[in-house]
Amino acid sequence: MSIKPIHNETEILSKISAGDARAFTCLFDFYYKNLGQYVYRLTESLEATEEIVQDVFVKIWSGRESLSQIESFTNYLFIITRNKTYRFLKDKAAARTKQQRFEQQYQEECSFQHETNTKRDFSYMIDELIGKLPPQQRKVYELSKINHLKYSEIATLLSISPETVKKHVVAANKFIKNSISEKNDQLFLLFFMVCVHFLK
C-alpha cells in the first residue's frame, strides 16, 4: 500500500503528540480513505473496514506521545493497519473453521439419531409382521433368522424336511418384503440389508 504523506507531517505529528485534537482530526481525514480502500480489498466488509481503521487511529491517539520519535509515519501507519487487518482475517478464518466443525458435529448427531430411530422403527415393523405369519411359518422363520439355526437343524427340531423349512422361510421373506415395500421403499431396502446380515 502506497500512502502519500500529509503536508507538514512533522508539524502535525508534533501537535498531536502535545494532545492537539484538531491536528489529529486532520490526520484522520487525510489518511482515512486510503486506509479504508486497502482494508476493504482484503476484508470485503464495510463493517470490518470501518472498525479496523478506527482501531488504527485509536491506537495512534493512545500512543500519541511517541509520534515525534517515528521516522516514517506512513510506514508506521501501514504496519499497524496491516497487522490489525491480518488479525481480523485470522480470527474470521478461525471462527469459520469452528462453525464448520460445529455444523459437521450437529449433522453427525442428527444423522446418528435419525439412523437410530429408523432402525428402532424398522425393528418394530418386522416384529409386527412376524407376528402375522402362520404359526408354523413363524416358528421356522424365527429359528432361522433370529436363532440362526441351519435348515437341517430346524428340520430335526420340528420333525419336518429341510425342503419344507426352506419353503416356510421363502414364504415368510416374501410376505415381509411385500408388506414393507407397500409402506416404504427405503425401509424395503433396509430390510434387504438386514437379510444379508442375517444370512452371513
| Per-residue pLDDT tens digits for 57-111 | 999 999 888 887 888 888 888 889 988 888 888 887 777 776 677 667 656 555 5
Terminus-to-terminus CA distance in the chain, angstroms?
69
Domain boundaries for CATH 1.10.10.10 within the chain: 131-199
Q: Which CATH class is domain 131-199?
A: mainly alpha
pLDDT of residue 87: 87
C-alpha span between 76 and 70 (Å, rounded): 8
Domain boundaries for CATH 1.10.1740.10 within the chain: 9-97
Which residue type, as a one-letter code, is found at position 17?
A: S
pTM of the model: 0.47
Could you tell me the pLDDT band of residue 148, with boundaries at 50, 70 and 90?
confident
Asked if CATH classification 1.10.1740.10 holds for the domain at 9-97, the reply, yes or no, is: yes
Helix (H, G, I), strand (E, B) or coil at 105: helix
> Long-range pairs for 192-198 at CB < 8 Å and ≥24 separation?
194/122, 194/126, 198/145, 198/148
C-alpha span between 49 and 28 (Å, rounded): 14
The DSSP line for 37-89 is: HHHHHHH--HHHHHHHHHHHHHHHHHTGGGGGG-S-HHHHHHHHHHHHHHHHH
